């Protein structure tokens, strides 16, 4: 019994079908719970009620980065071990990651307008998120441009590897280029920088909710891709001359 058994599409479909309802229920409960709990927290003494957008902003930003890491892992698994489910999962994850990046950018802009007095600033964090979005866009565009699914999986896998290096490089290059308005890490463990427990626990719940939301969407999208492949195979078999 190893994790590679789930590379078999039939086993993957069975296992993911069993997990999916729990993931959906957990995602709904934790996301709504986290945001609602966050809504009931007291106003920040300096930022007032605007601080409550943090319960959407931080989880979306966290997922935007981690989805790319997951795509990198899935691409490596595809390139090394040629498991189709892995390539399909990487493909399914990309649009979710792009939307998470957009949510982080949009909620950041909505938060930035009252706090910094501007919708957009060429701050290193903001800029690197915009660049990350461009990487997602290129990756998705390459998937949709190539017809042969195996070639598309190979080429997007290589692009994901090279893109990861350059996304990381850009992250530190923009740090060199401009000093920003954005705060440092949101969940620093250093004493004195640490977020008050009143905000921290709803934030943890909402982050868990976004993680489950990603899991649920990823499973749904991967299952759809597998079914589409099966359908294409069936049609190809039926219409064979």
Partner 1 sequence: MLPLLRRDLTLATRAGGGFGLAVAFFLILCALVPFGVGPDSAALRPIAPGILWLGALLACLLSLDRIFALDHEDGSLDLLATAPIPLEGVVAVKALAHWLTTGLPLVAAAPLFGLLLQLPAAATPWLLASLVIGTPALSMLGAFGAAITVGLRRGGLLLSLLVLPLYVPTLIFGTEAIRRGLEGGSPATPLLFLGGISAAVVALVPFAAAAALRVNLR
Task: State yes or no: residue 161 binds partner 1 (CB under 8 A).
Answer: yes
Query: Looking only at residues 164 through 223 of this chain, which bind partner 1 when binding is defined by CB under 8 A?
Result: 166-167, 169-170, 173-174, 176-177
* Distance of closest approach, residue 79 Cβ to partner 1, in angstroms: 9
Calpha distance 191→166 (Å, rounded): 33
- Are 32 and 209 in contact by the 8 Å Cβ rule? The answer is yes
Task: State yes or no: residue 154 binds partner 1 (CB under 8 A).
Answer: yes
Task: State yes or no: residue 102 binds partner 1 (CB under 8 A).
Answer: no
Nearer to partner 1, 165 or 233 (CB): 165
The site map against partner 1 for 110-149 (x = CB under 8 A) is ---------------------x--xx-xx--xx--xx---
Task: State yes or no: residue 109 binds partner 1 (CB under 8 A).
Answer: no
Distances, alpha carbon 4 to alpha carbons 11, 85, 94, 125, 236, in Å: 10, 11, 22, 37, 28
Nearer to partner 1, 78 or 199 (CB): 78
DSSP 134: H
The closest of 210, 199, 167 to 61, measured between CA atoms, is 210
Calpha distance 162→237 (Å, rounded): 37
101 CB-contact burial (10 Å; exposed 0-12 / middle 13-18 / buried 19+): buried
Q: Please give the size of the binding site for partner 1, defined by CB under 8 A.
A: 25
Calpha distance 37→128 (Å, rounded): 30
Structure-block tokens of residue 178: 């401009």
* Distance of closest approach, residue 202 Cβ to partner 1, in angstroms: 35
Task: State yes or no: residue 80 binds partner 1 (CB under 8 A).
Answer: no
* Distance of closest approach, residue 162 Cβ to partner 1, in angstroms: 5
Nearer to partner 1, 164 or 186 (CB): 164
Calpha distance 66→100 (Å, rounded): 10
Task: State yes or no: residue 76 binds partner 1 (CB under 8 A).
Answer: no
| Residues in touch with partner 1 (CB under 8 A) | 131, 134-135, 137-138, 141-142, 145-146, 151, 154-155, 158-159, 161-163, 166-167, 169-170, 173-174, 176-177
């Amino acid at each position: 019994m190893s994790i590679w058994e789930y590379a078999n599409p039939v086993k993957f479909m069975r296992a993911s079908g069993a997990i999916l309802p729990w993931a959906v229920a957990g995602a709904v409960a934790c996301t709504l719970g986290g945001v609602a709990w966050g809504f009931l927290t007291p106003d920040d003494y300096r930022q007032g009620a605007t601080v409550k957008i943090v319960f959407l902003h931080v989880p979306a930003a966290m997922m935007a980065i981690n989805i790319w890491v997951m795509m990198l892992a899935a691409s490596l698994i595809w390139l090394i071990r040629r498991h189709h489910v892995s390539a399909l999962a990487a493909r399914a994850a990309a649009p979710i990651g792009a939307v998470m990046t957009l949510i982080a950018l949009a909620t950041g802009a909505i938060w930035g307008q009252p706090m910094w007095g501007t919708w957009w600033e060429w701050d290193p964090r903001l800029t690197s998120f915009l660049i990350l979005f461009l990487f997602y866009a290129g990756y998705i565009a390459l998937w949709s441009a190539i017809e042969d699914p195996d070639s598309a999986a190979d080429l997007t896998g290589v692009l994901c590897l090279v893109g990861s290096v350059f996304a990381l490089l850009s992250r530190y290059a923009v740090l060199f280029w401009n000093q920003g308005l954005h705060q440092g890490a949101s969940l620093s463990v250093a004493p004195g920088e640490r977020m008050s427990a009143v905000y921290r626990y709803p934030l943890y719940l909402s982050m868990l909710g976004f993680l489950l939301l990603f899991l649920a969407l990823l499973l749904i999208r991967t299952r759809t891709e597998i079914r589409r492949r099966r359908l294409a195979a069936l049609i190809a078999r039926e219409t064979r001359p």
